[in-house]
Amino acid sequence: MKALIHIFLIGVLSVTLLIGCSEGDTQSEVPNSSRDVLEGIVQEKDATTILISNGSEGSMLYSLVTKDVAYDADVGDKIKVWTTGQYRESYPVQGVATKIVTTE
């Protein structure tokens, strides 16, 4: 009986250890392949990020990392942005741009 209790406790501890040490934070990034191309208006920009909105009232804001992406857009320009398809659950929504094209 004592041996069964020890085996049970070792099993419970092993499962707890495996669950606690799993890789990655699966809730911090949300893959969403249907939004890998965004269209919007540039609200702000700096050397490494760009803030865009889709232009409608109550619109979503996206803060996208633009490091290593060449583009020529200024505040107020309409743009089309390709992203990695993964977004952080925050406001504004955060993601990484892979290509940016001015549409007007």
Q: What are phi and psi of 36, to 5 degrees?
A: -75, -5
Tokens of 1: 């009986």
Position 20 pLDDT exceeds 60: yes
- What are the sequence ranges of the domains in the chain? 32-102
Model pLDDT, residue 31: 45
> Which fold is adopted by the domain 32-102?
OB fold (Dihydrolipoamide Acetyltransferase, E2P) (2.40.50)
Distance CA 32, CA 90 (A): 15
Give tens-digit pLDDT for 33-49: 445 888 999 999 998 99
Residue linked to tokens 């919007």: 40
Residue type, 94: Q
Q: Give the three-state DSSP class for 52.
A: strand
Tokens of 24: 């990655």
Give the HSE-up count for residue 13: Cα atoms under 13 Å, Cβ half-sphere.
Answer: 6
